[in-house]
Amino acid sequence: MAELVYKDPYLLVNSVDLSDYVRQVTINYGAEILDKTAGTTNSKEKIAGLTDWSLSIELNQDFATSAVDDTLFDLVGAAEFAVVIKPNGSVTGSSNPSFSGNGVLASYPPLGASVGQLITTSITIEGSGDLSRATT
C-alpha cells in the first residue's frame, strides 16, 4: 500500500486549469439510503437510492485574467460546467484516478481575509449528474 502526499493537485473547472491555486480538496460522494420497510418485519429495511456528489475546494485567491476570480465569479447560478480532479497532474492511471462530472456553483466568496493574511476562497461545487471515475 502506497501512502500519498498531496503536493501536485489537478483541478480543471469549466476548462480552466486552477491546479496552481489549490490548497485543499474534498470529494464528497454518497448515496441516499431509503427506508423500504413494509409488512410485518421487526426491523427496518433499507435500499440505496440515487447517488450524489460535491467538491469542497479551498483556493488561494487570484484576481488576474483566467485565474480564480475570473473563472468562478460568472459561474455562480449559471448553467452546469465540467469539473475534473485528480490526486496529481500526472497521467490518469490506477494510482492517479480522474474524477469528473458536471457541477453547479451556488455561491462564491471572492474576498474574505484579515489584514496581513493570505487571501483564500472556499467553494462547494454541487454535482449535476453522475460523478465518473477513470483509471485509464
pLDDT in tens, 76-86: 999 999 999 99
pLDDT in tens, 72-124: 999 999 999 999 999 999 999 999 999 999 999 999 999 988 999 999 999 99
0.95 cut: is pTM over it? Answer: no
pLDDT in tens, 18-53: 999 999 999 999 999 999 999 888 999 999 999 999
Count other Cβ atoms within 10 Å, centred on residue 20.
13
Q: Which domains does the chain have, with CATH numbers?
A: 10-30+46-134 (2.40.30)
Exposure string for 54-92, b = 16+ CB within 10 A, e = fewer: bbebebebbeeeebbbebbeebeeeebbebbbbbeeeeb
Does 132 have pLDDT greater than 60? yes
Would you state the pLDDT for residue 1? 57
